Amino acid sequence: MKQFNVPIIYRSPLISAIKKFRKQQDKMKKDFTPTFLDLGSLHIYLARHFGFCYGVENAIEIAFRTVEKNPGKKIFLLSEMIHNPHVNEDLQEKGIQFLQDTYGRQLIPFETLTADDIVIIPAFGTTLAIEKQLQDIGISVKKYNTTCPFVEKVWNRAEQIAQKGYSIIIHGKPKHEETRATFSHSAAGAPAVVVKDMEEAIALGKYITGEKNADAFEVEFKGRYSEGFNPGKDLQRIGVVNQTTMLASDTQGIADYLKMLMIHHYGLNDSNVGERFADTRDTLCYATNDNQTAVSGMLEETKADIAIVVGGYKSSNTSHLVELCELVLPTFFIESEEKILSPDKILHYNFHTKTELLTTGFLPHKQPVKILITSGASCPDALVENIIRKLAGFYNQDSKVDALATNFNN
Same-domain check for residues 239 and 318: no
Is residue 292 within 8 A of residue 320, CB to CB? The reply is yes
pLDDT tens digits for range 103-124: 999 999 999 999 999 999 999 9
Same-domain check for residues 235 and 165: yes
- DSSP one-letter code for 31: -
CA 326 to chain centre: 18
203-210: Cβ within 8 A, 24+ apart:
204/169, 204/235, 204/258, 205/257, 205/258, 205/261, 207/231, 207/232, 207/235, 208/235, 208/236, 208/238, 208/258, 208/261, 208/262, 208/265, 209/261, 209/265
Same-domain check for residues 361 and 371: yes
CA distance 79 to 106: 9
Q: What confidence score (pLDDT) does residue 402 get?
A: 87
Residue 142 falls inside a structural domain: no
Same-domain check for residues 114 and 171: no
| Domains in the chain, number | 3
Residue 143 falls inside a structural domain: no
Residue 2 has phi, psi (to 5 degrees) of: -55, 140
CATH number of the domain within which 72 lies: 3.40.50.11270
CB atoms within 10 A of CB 336: 20
Is residue 323 annotated as part of the catalytic site, yes or no? no
Q: Which of 137, 166, 195 is the last residue of a domain?
A: 137
Q: Give the pTM.
A: 0.91
Residue 280 falls inside a structural domain: no
CA distance 386 to 338: 9
CA 241 to chain centre: 15
CA distance 51 to 340: 19
Q: Which of 246, 275, 304 is the last residue of a domain?
A: 275
Name the catalytic one among 80, 131, 178, 323.
178
CA distance 329 to 323: 10
CATH number of the domain within which 356 lies: 3.40.1010.20
Q: What confidence score (pLDDT) does residue 282 get?
A: 65
Question: Can you point out the beta strands (E) in 167-300?
Answer: 167-171, 192-195, 238-242
Residue 292 falls inside a structural domain: yes
362-397: burial string, b at 16+ Cβ within 10 Å, e else: bbeeeeebbbbbbbbbbbbbbbbbbbbbbbbebbeb
Q: Which of 137, 159, 179 is the last residue of a domain?
A: 137
CA distance 231 to 234: 5
Same-domain check for residues 215 and 225: yes
Same-domain check for residues 167 and 113: no
Same-domain check for residues 171 and 228: yes
Residue 3 falls inside a structural domain: no
Same-domain check for residues 185 and 269: yes
Same-domain check for residues 48 and 58: no
CB atoms within 10 A of CB 330: 14
State which residues form the domain around 195. 149-275
Intervals of the chain under pLDDT 70? 1-2, 282, 284
Same-domain check for residues 79 and 42: no
Same-domain check for residues 226 and 263: yes
Same-domain check for residues 293 and 340: yes
Q: What confidence score (pLDDT) does residue 1 get?
A: 57
Is residue 107 within 8 A of residue 99, CB to CB? The reply is yes
Residue 162 falls inside a structural domain: yes
Residue 72 falls inside a structural domain: yes
Is residue 254 within 8 A of residue 195, CB to CB? The reply is yes
Q: What confidence score (pLDDT) does residue 264 get?
A: 96
Residue 296 falls inside a structural domain: yes
